[in-house]
Amino acid sequence: MSHQVSTGPAKREVSSGPATPYSAPVVELLLALKVAGLDQLLALDDFAHVDSDAISSVLEEFGRLANGVLASSDRVGDVIGAQYDPATGTITTPDEFHRAFSHFVDGGWSALAHPREFGGGELPTVVSLALQEMFASANMALSLNPVLTQGAIEALLQWGNDQQKDIYLARLLTSEWSGTMNLTEPDAGSDLNEIRAMAHQADDGTWRVSGTKIFITWGEHDLAQNIIHLVLARTPDSPPGTKGLSLFVVPKFLVNPDGTLGERNTFRAIGMEHKLGIHGSSTCVMQFDDATGELVGPRHGGMRAMFTMMNAARLSIGVQGPAVGERAFQHAFEYASGRLQGRTGNVKPPERSPLVDHPDVQRMLLLMSTMTRASRLLLFLAGGQKDHAMHLEPGPARERAQQMVDLLTPVAKAWSTDRGVDSSSLGIQVLGGAGFIEEYGMAQRLRDVRIAPIYEGTNGIQAIDLVFRKLPRDGGKWVRLLMDEVEESLAKSGGVDLSTATSVVSEAIMHLRDSTEWMLKTVESAPDDALAGATNYLELFGSAIGGWLMIERARLASAEGHSDAERIALESDFFAVDVVARSSGLVRSITAGAHRLAAHAPQG
């Protein structure tokens, strides 16, 4: 497989076209965090150092950073992008990225969710997801840098030895150094069995890693002093397949025992991909040539260690769905409020109505806003369960939390990123011809978010993971428990009329239950039939659980006397009728089997 060596988008002046607005939705984020169980989390001993007022302050302060220097650097990154020098293998980023990232690093934002023993703030994971959403809304390309670094931190926290933690963690936590994942190769994408990179142990106990890795996000750049690569490779004695993979930490600059930087390691970026979107993020082809590295975790235990990074990253990538959806909605709403076209109601010539007064535009805007809210709630629910699994005392409650985060993660990643694509496409539709013109900025939303359903495990892979790994655990015990709990919740009465939404979502849960039982049987008896329905099953799962969470959001807003409680209840009804009710029709395709796909199979 060959790769075009690109210098990135052509360098040109950034247009002074209409600004694309962003205002961090702090009030909405706090409400979503409460629906996800933030108050219960803060009652745990591990979070005794923080309270709800502190969380509010953190979100408000980061919101100001996102609204300002982070968001203002977004368009420059898209138009100018990262620049690759093939002579040196180096990549430079726009000056605006340097200023924005310096504010992020100087504020200590990247360390907030990590253990205090390594210099972190040890806030709940779900709070860090809220911060990641604001960052990705403001500048998705730049936000990927700390997301990848976070994955490297989690891998080293769980699998690194004491020396590796001492050398790498403190500087990774501050984002003075950045981290990457190196999995994919020219002949090994979703199928990691085909990885060919090799590592040989040297006489001094370190390892020498050789091979080519592709699609490496932020694999080379000039924002950090050092780049710490986590690389999957084989050893000479490794068995075939993924069981033979090991994980190695391979720094761009070797690190001396005292933490200072030593000589340049023997690898480089030999190309940078020219992409549809996220132009400010360098996506590299990395060539390792006997590069010095260290084994992380056990030999041939690389897949387990790598999944520590990937599972953390899947929620972070999932957050890009509501992140981009939120910014697209804000932009579309502002445009529709000011653009005069046609007449509605009793408006007479020469007066004209703003687009926002037209029913079909209202429908599109409501779809954008409610899909964004529902996907945010789903991701925060998974993040909150992850916190409980990490911080509860060992026992049944902790086991339940771990099983729930495992079950919800593929749904949250896939369903939420698909909704981000839908919202961005609708945003273009609301702007009409202006949406199709780059200078208006909405096209960037769609171009940027389109990668989210692909990387960190395609959404099709997420559906397979859900159906073949997560549903069958303990004979389907955990998915049945979730549906039981949702039905019990829906049966409760609240202080606000949600009868329409409750009726629709209850029906969707019934369809989900029936489809689940079919899947649990079919995974064993006819796996191809289960595979053929897996993506639509995940769609039904996400819509049904999202609809329930929208009801929970409305109930909480009413109980707390939220100033927008009536609007929030109406949003719950709209989402149920216009999204959840439609998804219930997926049952037929979920259970239709694989034979219907044979029409496009290769003919012998």
SS3 labels along 76-92:
HHHHCCCEEECCCCEEE
Read off the pLDDT band of 117 (50, 70, 90): confident
Per-residue confidence (pLDDT) for residue 12, from 0 to 100: 43
The CATH class, in words, for 472-597 is mainly alpha
Residue 267 has pLDDT above 50, yes or no: yes
Read off the pLDDT band of 10 (50, 70, 90): very low
- 559-573 average pLDDT score: 93
Per-residue confidence (pLDDT) for residue 189, from 0 to 100: 76
Task: State what percent of residues in the chain have pLDDT above 90.
Answer: 83
Best CA proximity match to 541, nearest among 503, 577, 590, 498: 590
User: Mean of the per-residue pLDDT values for the chain?
Assistant: 93
| pLDDT, tens only, 164-219 | 999 999 899 999 999 999 999 998 877 787 899 999 999 999 999 999 999 999 99
Residue 599 has pLDDT above 80, yes or no: no
Residue 7 has pLDDT above 50, yes or no: no
- Active-site amino acid positions: 456
Instruction: Say what the alpha-carbon torsion angle 302, 307, 310, 315 is, to the nearest 10 degrees.
Output: -170
Read off the pLDDT band of 3 (50, 70, 90): very low
3-state DSSP assignment of residue 22: coil
Per-residue confidence (pLDDT) for residue 440, from 0 to 100: 94
C-alpha 280 chain-centroid distance? 18
3-state helix/strand/coil string of 66-134: HHHHHHHCHHHHHHCCCEEECCCCEEECCHHHHHHHHHHHHCCHHHCCCCHHHCCCCCCHHHHHHHHHH
Read off the pLDDT band of 8 (50, 70, 90): very low
Contacts of 181 (CB under 8 A, 6+ apart): 148, 151, 152, 216, 217, 230, 306, 309, 310, 313
Rg (CA), the chain: 24
Per-residue confidence (pLDDT) for residue 18, from 0 to 100: 54
Residue 93 has pLDDT above 80, yes or no: yes
- 271-279 average pLDDT score: 97
3-state DSSP assignment of residue 254: strand
Lowest pLDDT segment from 104-118, 393-407, 464-478, 528-542: 104-118
- 345-372 average pLDDT score: 93
Per-residue confidence (pLDDT) for residue 5, from 0 to 100: 37
Domain boundaries, the chain: 472-597
Per-residue confidence (pLDDT) for residue 272, from 0 to 100: 97
Per-residue confidence (pLDDT) for residue 241, from 0 to 100: 87
| pLDDT, tens only, 312-327 | 789 999 999 999 999 9
Per-residue confidence (pLDDT) for residue 19, from 0 to 100: 60
| pLDDT, tens only, 418-475 | 999 999 999 999 999 999 999 999 999 999 999 999 999 999 999 999 999 999 999 9
Read off the pLDDT band of 584 (50, 70, 90): confident
- 49-60 average pLDDT score: 96
Per-residue confidence (pLDDT) for residue 341, from 0 to 100: 86
Best CA proximity match to 13, nearest among 67, 105, 94, 91: 94
